[in-house]
A and B are shown apart, each in its own frame.
Chain A
């Protein structure tokens, strides 16, 4: 089991943001977080990633990868160097060949050595996808993964998500655009009942 929530509710100023959540996520499932703007989707993902500490209830999220709103790429370094850094953070061995393969897969091999500040937002987003492939984390926590992607990029993203789930991984994503994957689950964030 890759993710388990037990009456988890994120709070701000001691007020709950949504109704408590209880669910289990097993391998192979792709779950979309549903809720309007401000429902707490980003906060939930950040809580699971360990970046937000105000919550009640419990969660267990042992092996994950987090993609937040900011790209998470150093603009002064090239995609190759960024991937090397991520590999170093996670403690993987890193070879240029493997990185090249990943960049080729996301269509960024021609820009492998260009500093990221010279890449467009969409191109940087593709580099982050290469980063996901580099990691061997089973659970992907993604916040608005479709941002800045063109049509081809979206197709690529869907393919990667499907493949990841097929290979025993799982995805929990907050997204404005519905995930175009087969057999996806939904986790709605309902507004908290205001106590009288």
Chain B
């Protein structure tokens, strides 16, 4: 009963940008430190110490960037969809701030995934680009991101922009599993013997452990980046309010001013 009450209060508090700003500070630092640690360890481990793949030699190591980027890019989009739902149902302003913050990071990460996929493909299959299940899924994800971005650019009214992006993010999120499945299915038809990288279940621990580290590190990086953007956006949107002024220009809160 007490837990339910605290959760409810927490939920209500979450609707306040100011409260979010105040509690998110330590999270940013925490995620940042973890990200640097995990990504640092992961990159060195993956690039230098993990055993080379028996088929692809050393070129597979780009996987340590490509796979985490692709995974986190997709998770970020799904987070946008969830934020969209929160906005529609509970009308929380913070949800729109979250969507606005996830967008640039998501686009960057998806592009990184596509680029690293190309870097992977060049030495491995001799081509920068290959139409297979994963590249198509990632490319579609990029278009889903750009769609929301373009929509936000086109709508001037901030409330309607929020609702429109939330709606499109939700519809996109519902479609992600369908798109993924259809593309995987298409892939098994068209690319019978291509990219599996020594099939994941049988990947030795020395190979997938650094991958796990990279994935976790990438999530932490996402957390750090997105929350930082959210905090900046909150400051920007609430720039007329007292608490922001007090925060940014403490010397202006002299007696008699304001």
Could you tell me which A residues sit within 8 Å of B by CB distance?
12-14, 53-54
Q: In the complex, what's the smallest C-beta–C-beta distance from A54 to chain B, in angstroms?
A: 5
- List 7 A-B pairs, Cβ < 8 Å: A12-B157, A13-B157, A13-B158, A13-B159, A14-B159, A53-B159, A54-B159
Q: How many residues of B contact A (CB 8 A)?
A: 3
Q: In the complex, what's the smallest C-beta–C-beta distance from A46 to chain B, in angstroms?
A: 13
CB-based nearest B residue for A53: B159
Q: In the complex, what distance in Å separates the CA atom of A13 from the CA atom of B157?
A: 7
Q: In the complex, what distance in Å separates the CA atom of A13 from the CA atom of B156?
A: 10
CB-based nearest A residue for B158: A13
CB-based nearest B residue for A196: B258
Q: In the complex, what distance in Å separates the CA atom of A133 from the CA atom of B157?
A: 36
Q: In the complex, what's the smallest C-beta–C-beta distance from B16 to chain A, in angstroms?
A: 14
Interface of A: prevailing SS: loop
The 6 closest A-B pairs by CB, nearest first: A54-B159, A13-B158, A13-B157, A12-B157, A13-B159, A53-B159
CB-based nearest A residue for B156: A13
Q: In the complex, what distance in Å separates the CA atom of A14 from the CA atom of B158?
A: 9
CB-based nearest B residue for A12: B157
Q: In the complex, what distance in Å separates the CA atom of A12 from the CA atom of B159?
A: 8
Q: In the complex, what's the smallest C-beta–C-beta distance from B233 to chain A, in angstroms?
A: 15
CB-based nearest B residue for A11: B159
Q: In the complex, what distance in Å separates the CA atom of A125 from the CA atom of B94?
A: 45
**Which chain B residues (157-179) contact chain A, with CB distance < 8 Å?**
157-159
Q: In the complex, what's the smallest C-beta–C-beta distance from B18 to chain A, in angstroms?
A: 15
| B residues in contact with A12, CB < 8 Å | 157
Q: In the complex, what distance in Å separates the CA atom of A109 from the CA atom of B7?
A: 65
| B residues in contact with A53, CB < 8 Å | 159
| B residues in contact with A13, CB < 8 Å | 157-159
| A residues in contact with B158, CB < 8 Å | 13
| B residues in contact with A54, CB < 8 Å | 159
Q: In the complex, what distance in Å separates the CA atom of A53 from the CA atom of B162?
A: 13
Q: In the complex, what distance in Å separates the CA atom of A54 from the CA atom of B158?
A: 11
Q: In the complex, what's the smallest C-beta–C-beta distance from B125 to chain A, in angstroms?
A: 52
Q: In the complex, what distance in Å separates the CA atom of A109 from the CA atom of B158?
A: 46
| B residues in contact with A14, CB < 8 Å | 159
| A residues in contact with B157, CB < 8 Å | 12-13
CB-based nearest A residue for B258: A196
Q: In the complex, what distance in Å separates the CA atom of A12 from the CA atom of B156?
A: 11
Q: In the complex, what distance in Å separates the CA atom of A54 from the CA atom of B160?
A: 9
Q: In the complex, what distance in Å separates the CA atom of A161 from the CA atom of B159?
A: 36
Q: In the complex, what distance in Å separates the CA atom of A53 from the CA atom of B158?
A: 13
Q: In the complex, what distance in Å separates the CA atom of A52 from the CA atom of B159?
A: 11
Q: In the complex, what distance in Å separates the CA atom of A21 from the CA atom of B158?
A: 24
Q: In the complex, what distance in Å separates the CA atom of A186 from the CA atom of B107?
A: 53
Q: In the complex, what distance in Å separates the CA atom of A54 from the CA atom of B157?
A: 11
Q: In the complex, what distance in Å separates the CA atom of A13 from the CA atom of B159?
A: 7
Q: In the complex, what distance in Å separates the CA atom of A53 from the CA atom of B159?
A: 9
Q: In the complex, what distance in Å separates the CA atom of A14 from the CA atom of B240?
A: 12
Q: In the complex, what distance in Å separates the CA atom of A161 from the CA atom of B245?
A: 53
Q: In the complex, what distance in Å separates the CA atom of A54 from the CA atom of B163?
A: 12
The digit string for B83-115, where 1 denotes a CB below 8 A from any CB of A, is 000000000000000000000000000000000
CB-based nearest A residue for B163: A53
Q: In the complex, what's the smallest C-beta–C-beta distance from A24 to chain B, in angstroms?
A: 28
